[in-house]
Copies of this chain bind each other. A is one copy, B any other.
Amino acid sequence: MEAFSLSLFSWAIPLFGLIGFALAYKLYVGIQALPAGNARMQEISAAIRDGAIAYLRKQAQYLSMFIIGAFLVIWWALQLPTALAFVFGAGSSLLAGYLGMKSATLSNVRTAQAASEAQPGQALMTAFNGGAVMGLSVAALGLIGVGVLFLIFGTPAHHEPIIGFAMGASSVALFARVGGGIYTKAADVGSDLVGKVEAGIPEDDPRNPGVIADNVGDNVGDVAGMGADIFESYVTCLIGCLALAATISVADLQTLTSYAGDPATVESYKIWLMATPLILGLLGSIGSFIAIKWMSFLKDGDPAKALRTTILLASVLFIIASLGFFLVTPVNVSLWIPVIFGTFCGIGIGLTTEYYTSSKPVYEIVNASKTGPATCVINGIAVGFRSVTLPLIIIVAAVLVSNSFGGVYGVAIAGVAMLATTGIIMTIDAYGPIADNAGGISEMAQLGKETRDITDKLDALGNTTAAIGKGFAIGSAGLTALAVFGAFTQSFPAGKVDLAITNPTLLVGVFIGAMLPGLIVAFTMQSVGKAAGLIVTEIRRQFREIAGLLEGREGVKPDVSRCVEISTKAALTEMRAPGLVAFITPIAVGLVMGPAALAGLLLGTTIVGVVLGIFMANTGGAWDNAKKYIEQGLVEGEKKGSDAHKAAVVGDTVGDPFKDTSGPSLNILIKMVSILALLIAPVLAKIWIS
13 CB contacts below 8 A, A to B, read A193-B374, A193-B375, A371-B533, A381-B525, A381-B654, A395-B511, A396-B511, A400-B504, A486-B502, A500-B500, A501-B501, A501-B603, A514-B610
Contact indicator A375/B529 (Cβ below 8 Å):
yes
A521: Cβ under 8 A from any B Cβ: yes
The 0/1 profile, CB within 8 Å of B marked 1, for residues 469-505 of chain A is 0000000001000100010010000000001111010
Candidates B500, B512, B522; contact of A386 at CB < 8 Å: B522
Expressed in whole angstroms, the Cα–Cα distance for A87 and B478 within the complex equals 42
Closest 10 CB pairs between A and B?
A374-B653, A385-B522, A382-B525, A386-B522, A382-B526, A385-B518, A403-B504, A499-B500, A388-B518, A392-B515
Contact indicator A399/B507 (Cβ below 8 Å):
yes
Query: Which residues in window 133-186 of A have CB below 8 A to B?
Result: none
Q: How far is the CB of A506 from chain B (nearest CB, A)?
A: 7
A368: Cβ under 8 A from any B Cβ: yes
Q: Which residues of B contact A112 (CB under 8 A)?
A: none
Expressed in whole angstroms, the Cα–Cα distance for A650 and B400 within the complex equals 43
Q: Which residues of B contact A657 (CB under 8 A)?
A: 378
Q: How far is the CB of A497 from chain B (nearest CB, A)?
A: 10
Contact indicator A396/B508 (Cβ below 8 Å):
yes
Query: Which residues in window 349-393 of A have CB below 8 A to B?
Result: 367-368, 371-375, 377-379, 381-386, 388-389, 392-393
Q: Which residues of B contact A367 (CB under 8 A)?
A: 533
A411: Cβ under 8 A from any B Cβ: yes
A532: Cβ under 8 A from any B Cβ: yes
Expressed in whole angstroms, the Cα–Cα distance for A521 and B510 within the complex equals 22
Q: How far is the CB of A398 from chain B (nearest CB, A)?
A: 10
Chain B residue nearest to A498 (CB atoms) is: B500
Chain B residue nearest to A602 (CB atoms) is: B501
Contact (A392, B501) CB under 8 Å given A521-B382, A533-B375: no
A536: Cβ under 8 A from any B Cβ: yes
A599: Cβ under 8 A from any B Cβ: yes
Expressed in whole angstroms, the Cα–Cα distance for A543 and B382 within the complex equals 30
Expressed in whole angstroms, the Cα–Cα distance for A412 and B603 within the complex equals 23
Expressed in whole angstroms, the Cα–Cα distance for A385 and B367 within the complex equals 28
Contact indicator B533/A368 (Cβ below 8 Å):
yes
Q: Which residues of B contact A392 (CB under 8 A)?
A: 511-512, 514-515
Expressed in whole angstroms, the Cα–Cα distance for A470 and B408 within the complex equals 41
Contact indicator B377/A377 (Cβ below 8 Å):
yes
A608: Cβ under 8 A from any B Cβ: yes
Contact indicator A501/B499 (Cβ below 8 Å):
yes
Q: Which residues of B contact A649 (CB under 8 A)?
A: 374
A240: Cβ under 8 A from any B Cβ: no
A256: Cβ under 8 A from any B Cβ: no
A685: Cβ under 8 A from any B Cβ: no
A611: Cβ under 8 A from any B Cβ: yes
Q: How far is the CB of A571 from chain B (nearest CB, A)?
A: 16
The 0/1 profile, CB within 8 Å of B marked 1, for residues 263-280 of chain A is 000000000000000000
A528: Cβ under 8 A from any B Cβ: yes
Number of copies: 2
Candidates B500, B504, B650; contact of A377 at CB < 8 Å: B650
Dominant secondary structure of chain A at its interface with chain B: helix
Q: Which residues of B contact A388 (CB under 8 A)?
A: 515, 518-519, 522
Candidates B504, B518, B528; contact of A408 at CB < 8 Å: B504
The 0/1 profile, CB within 8 Å of B marked 1, for residues 393-429 of chain A is 1011001100100011001000000000000000000
A604: Cβ under 8 A from any B Cβ: yes
Q: Which residues of B contact A510 (CB under 8 A)?
A: 603, 607
A41: Cβ under 8 A from any B Cβ: no
Chain B residue nearest to A407 (CB atoms) is: B504
The size of the chain A interface, using a CB distance under 8 A, is: 74
Q: How far is the CB of A371 from chain B (nearest CB, A)?
A: 5
Contact indicator B408/A502 (Cβ below 8 Å):
yes
Candidates B386, B489, B515, B650; contact of A650 at CB < 8 Å: B650
Contact indicator A501/B600 (Cβ below 8 Å):
yes
Q: Which residues of B contact A654 (CB under 8 A)?
A: 374, 377-378, 381
Q: Which residues of B contact A533 (CB under 8 A)?
A: 367-368, 371, 375
Q: Which residues of B contact A375 (CB under 8 A)?
A: 189, 193, 529, 532-533, 653
Contact indicator B395/A607 (Cβ below 8 Å):
no
The CB with the most chain B CB atoms within 10 A, among A377, A486, A519, A615, is that of: A377
Q: Which residues of B contact A653 (CB under 8 A)?
A: 372, 374-375, 378
Contact (A511, B399) CB under 8 Å given A385-B519, A607-B604: yes
Chain B residue nearest to A400 (CB atoms) is: B508
Beyond A375-B529, A377-B377, 8 extra complex contacts between A and B, CB < 8 Å: A375-B532, A377-B650, A388-B518, A399-B504, A486-B502, A489-B501, A489-B502, A608-B611
Q: Which residues of B contact A504 (CB under 8 A)?
A: 399-400, 403, 407-408, 411
Q: Which residues of B contact A610 (CB under 8 A)?
A: 511, 514
A197: Cβ under 8 A from any B Cβ: yes
Candidates B502, B512, B529, B604; contact of A368 at CB < 8 Å: B529
Expressed in whole angstroms, the Cα–Cα distance for A186 and B526 within the complex equals 30
Q: How far is the CB of A349 from chain B (nearest CB, A)?
A: 13
Query: Which residues in window 613-670 of A have CB below 8 A to B?
Result: 615, 649-650, 653-654, 657
Candidates B371, B506, B529, B536; contact of A378 at CB < 8 Å: B529
Contact indicator A607/B511 (Cβ below 8 Å):
yes
Contact indicator B532/A386 (Cβ below 8 Å):
no
Q: Which residues of B contact A514 (CB under 8 A)?
A: 392, 607-608, 610-611
Q: Which residues of B contact A532 (CB under 8 A)?
A: 371, 375
Candidates B197, B382, B607; contact of A372 at CB < 8 Å: B197
Contact indicator B603/A382 (Cβ below 8 Å):
no
Q: Which residues of B contact A382 (CB under 8 A)?
A: 521-523, 525-526, 529
Expressed in whole angstroms, the Cα–Cα distance for A111 and B189 within the complex equals 47
